[in-house]
Amino acid sequence: MYYLEIDERKKLILREVVQRFILTGNPVGSKVIAQSGKLHVSPATVRNEMAALEKMGFLKQPHTSAGREPTNIAYRYYVDILLSQKRPSHGDVEAAEQLFAVRNKEIEGMFKEASILLSELTRTAAMVFAPIEITHIVHRIDLVPLDYTHLVVIVITSMGQVGKRMIELDFSAGRDSIQVVSEFLNGEISGTDISGLDKEKLLDQSGFEGETKDLAAVVLEALASCLDVLEERIFVGGTSNIVREMDCEGREWVQRLLEAIEKQDFILALLKDLVQIRRLTVRIGEENEIRELKRCAFVGTSYPVAKGIFGSLGIVGPTSMDYARAIGIVEYIAENLGRILYRVM
Amino acid sequence: MYYLEIDERKKLILREVVQRFILTGNPVGSKVIAQSGKLHVSPATVRNEMAALEKMGFLKQPHTSAGREPTNIAYRYYVDILLSQKRPSHGDVEAAEQLFAVRNKEIEGMFKEASILLSELTRTAAMVFAPIEITHIVHRIDLVPLDYTHLVVIVITSMGQVGKRMIELDFSAGRDSIQVVSEFLNGEISGTDISGLDKEKLLDQSGFEGETKDLAAVVLEALASCLDVLEERIFVGGTSNIVREMDCEGREWVQRLLEAIEKQDFILALLKDLVQIRRLTVRIGEENEIRELKRCAFVGTSYPVAKGIFGSLGIVGPTSMDYARAIGIVEYIAENLGRILYRVM
DNA sequence: ATTAGCACTCGTTATAATGGAGTGCTAAAA
DNA sequence: TTTTAGCACTCCATTATAACGAGTGCTAAT
């Protein structure tokens, strides 16, 4: 790191430039810095320092006779070194309380609300990754007949999660055979792990014949795919903020970003990655692996939902976002979401 | 209606203007119309006709010496009268087949996929309203204990729908009392309508005492709110298309529109309204009640999911969208979604 | 009723001029 | 050696002006 070369005065100037640019979005000149009161030197001195900082790669000029704006390296340095860790403001905390005030809420609703809250407080796009335990111990299986050829298979895990699948039979199944199959499956599968299911063996054990056996086979098939439905989910909120905050970038590019968020696959990878890292992570510009995020900054962290199980959440905003505030809010929400969900999800 | 005054040649010209404007987005002049081959008159004649159409309110000029573009009235007329009902193209149909090819899919996934398909084919924002039958006959109730103070209440309706709620007890509940409550509730409530539940009476009937009674009370409370969770849902797809297609409008305005779609309450009202109307509906510009849609066009229709139960779906795009194509696709998707879901949801 | 012809309008593009914010550099002051 | 006042310079942004051309409305001829 070249960070050693930066003396105190340079730090002061750098912080000031970053903060002002975050605030106004305009390049900042030597004059305003000199008159800001933090520093008691003339604009000329500031200019010299700024030129040095530019040479070091921390500042850049949009054109020769404009003020300076921070490079991504500067943001990195700002986040790593200069940031005076801000806890979320009183107002933010108060706003966040609404999430935790409403109890007895549907679990899914918690994630959704967290994503909305996160996006509203930071005015960015927010995403919450809701993990699922990998082993699914079955609590119960339900078969709901709709008519003679359709029924819904429902699996409830011991964690209270629900997988559901509609199946269409190419034969007709009576209520009684459905009942029989249902009872048999509950007897055999309840309390066991659904992923290690030996369908063939189970079918043999059942002693079912004819239509009932066919039915059981179809249902077992559906059970397996219920697992997939029990996949992790992402809750996204505040994507419209991207249009507002990213007005510096081209329309084309904003559209691509929104599209990527909508598709969710990249975002899912990003958030899953975050679960591994398991600490506050700030990725600025090119540091992002996802192409569509290379002009943005990402702030995220993970939160626990059970022993060894973590979810993650984060926001996507402009590289010139208010990192102090964003970090504070992200950590705060993660902390509280974890606290509420832990051993409850 | 003033429609009577429009002779055949005016119709031809109007249609041509609308179609060309939809295609290119640029005002269209008299010359291109005259040379289009549909009409065998000189530009001057076309100009006279266009001046007349402008006076009637069908055309407008962005400025004195530009070509003409259609007013919303023209779009209305185009949709009502001039549209040569286009069935979806072979390519569109083929693309749509993917939705119906994958069977035995989770029901929710059908809606989601329909919204994605709709948005991709039309390159607009698409929304699918998934209705729920109003009466909820309970098929089964499940209580899943997580630890001593938390449990998940799950209600399965006779239609295979699942409502779920996590509750936190301020006392400790043993597995056995949970078992007892569960069995009692299933005995009493299964097969009945959950909305007309008399909690007090039921509690009295139960003969439960102490902790078990408290538990039953809390669970009954949660059951009621499970109904709310079983609310209608909206599936939205392709919102990023709005950024692409609406580039004529201001950023500010695009942002508001996206926000409105994200919030979903207005959209929900719109789609519910559509269920009442129960036929293809095109709303152009000011015809939309929702403020954020007044610069857009909406194309939607309803689809059946059961006898007397309808869902609805639609798209939001620029007023200069390809209505023929949009209508074709919307109807096609609605038709097929209805066919698949009917008596199965 | 149609159309050729023509003057006219007005947005678009190109070019030049002006102002000003901000810089880099130099030389003097501390 | 560090700081700073002074000044020339750069370059964006704004404004002014002109040329262009697509498209119109109107008139008069067909």
**Which of A34-48, A177-191, B151-165, B257-271 shows the lowest per-residue confidence on average (mean pLDDT)?**
B151-165
> Which residue is listed with tokens 């990249």?
A266
Query: Is the pLDDT score of B158 beyond 60?
Result: yes
- Angle made by CA atoms B195, B192, B168, in degrees to the nearest 5: 60
Q: Which amino acid makes up residue A44?
A: A
Per-residue pLDDT of B326-345, as tens digits, reads 999 999 999 989 988 875 55
CA–CA separation, A140 and A155 (whole Å): 6
Query: Which of A277-281, B9-13, B135-139, B157-161 is predicted least confidently?
Result: B135-139
Contact check, Cβ <8 Å, B239/A258: yes
Q: What is the pLDDT of residues A273-308, one digit of tens each?
A: 999 999 999 999 999 999 999 999 999 999 998 888
| CA separation for the pair A327, A329 (Å, rounded) | 5
DSSP for B247-262 reads: TTS-HHHHHHHHHHHH
Q: What is the pLDDT of residue A279?
A: 94
Q: Report the C-alpha gap between B110 and A30 in whole angstroms.
A: 59
pLDDT of A1 > 70? The answer is no
A1: tokens are 């790191």
Give SS3 for A146: coil
- pLDDT of A110 reads 85
Sign of the four-CA dihedral A325, A328, A330, A336: negative
Predicted pLDDT at B134? 59
More confident call, A161 vs A118: A118
Report, as an integer, the average pLDDT of B33-51: 92
- Average pLDDT on A178-203 reads 89
Q: Smallest CA–C1' separation from B65: which nucleotide?
A: D23
Q: At B133, is the pLDDT very low, low, confident or very high (cuts 50, 70, 90)?
A: low
List, in order of start, the domains of chain B with CATH numbers: 2-82 (1.10.10.10), 90-131+232-344 (3.30.450.40), 138-229 (3.30.390.60)
Pick the more confident residue, A67 or A98.
A67
Q: What is the mean pLDDT of chain B?
A: 89
Residue A99 has pLDDT above 90, yes or no: no
CA A49/CA A36 separation, integer angstroms: 16
Query: For A237-242, what is the mean pLDDT?
Result: 96
**Percentage of chain B modeled with pLDDT above 70:** 93
**H-run or E-run covering B74:** helix B72-77
What nucleotides of chain C have any atom within 7 angstroms of a protein Cβ? Answer: 2-5, 8-11, 20-26
B157 φ/ψ angles, rounded to the nearest 5 degrees: -90, 170
Are B130 and B340 contacting, i.e. CB atoms less than 8 angstroms apart? no
For residue B211, the model assigns a pLDDT of 87
Looking at residue A151, its pLDDT comes to 87
Rounded to a whole number of angstroms, the distance from the CA of A292 to the nearest CA of chain B is: 13
Query: What's the helix, strand, coil split of chain B in %, to 5?
Result: 50, 20, 30
Q: Strand A233-237 to strand A162-168: parallel, antiparallel, or no bridges (unpaired)?
A: unpaired
pLDDT for the residue numbered B175:
87
Distance, angstroms, CA B80 to C1' C5?
39
Contact A95, A121 (CB under 8 A): yes
Q: What is the pLDDT of residue A57?
A: 94
Q: Which of residues 302-331 of A touch strand C (CB under 7 A)?
A: none
Mark yes or no for CB contact A140/B139 under 8 Å. no
Q: Which nucleotide is nearest to B9 (CA to C1')?
A: C1
What is the DSSP pairing of strand A138-145 with strand B125-130? unpaired
Cα separations (Å) of B139 from A145, B142, B162?
Answer: 10, 10, 10
